[in-house]
């Protein structure tokens, strides 16, 4: 069941262990076909995640993220 907690993605990822972040990243990259460098551009804020990408991350993490 999805939590109804709304969180900022970067804040959420910073609260996880390195292993959890890698698992989320790898699952997301596999599901979306996004490249590794593009993931880090989006995480760093140079590029924005699309609404669909935010929804996909929410499904992976079972949390609703603030877009």
Whether residue 32 lies inside any domain: the answer is: yes
- Total domains in the fold of the chain: 1
Rounded Cα distance, 38 and 35, in Å: 5
Sign of CA dihedral 29, 43, 64, 5: positive
For the beta carbon of residue 63, count every other beta carbon within 10 angstroms: 16
Whether residue 41 lies inside any domain: the answer is: yes
Rounded Cα distance, 13 and 24, in Å: 9
**pLDDT at site 20:** 96
**pLDDT at site 11:** 86
pTM of this prediction? 0.84
**pLDDT at site 10:** 85
Instruction: Write out pLDDT tens, residues 20-56.
Output: 999 999 999 999 999 999 999 999 889 999 999 999 9
Is residue 9 pLDDT above 70, yes or no? Answer: yes
Structural domain harbouring 52: 6-65
């Amino acid at each position: 069941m999805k939590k109804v907690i709304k969180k900022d993605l970067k804040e959420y990822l910073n609260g996880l262990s390195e292993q959890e972040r890698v698992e989320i990243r790898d699952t997301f990259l596999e599901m979306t076909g996004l490249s590794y460098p593009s993931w880090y551009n989006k995480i760093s804020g140079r590029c924005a995640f699309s609404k669909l990408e935010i929804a996909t991350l929410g499904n992976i993490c079972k949390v609703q993220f603030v877009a």
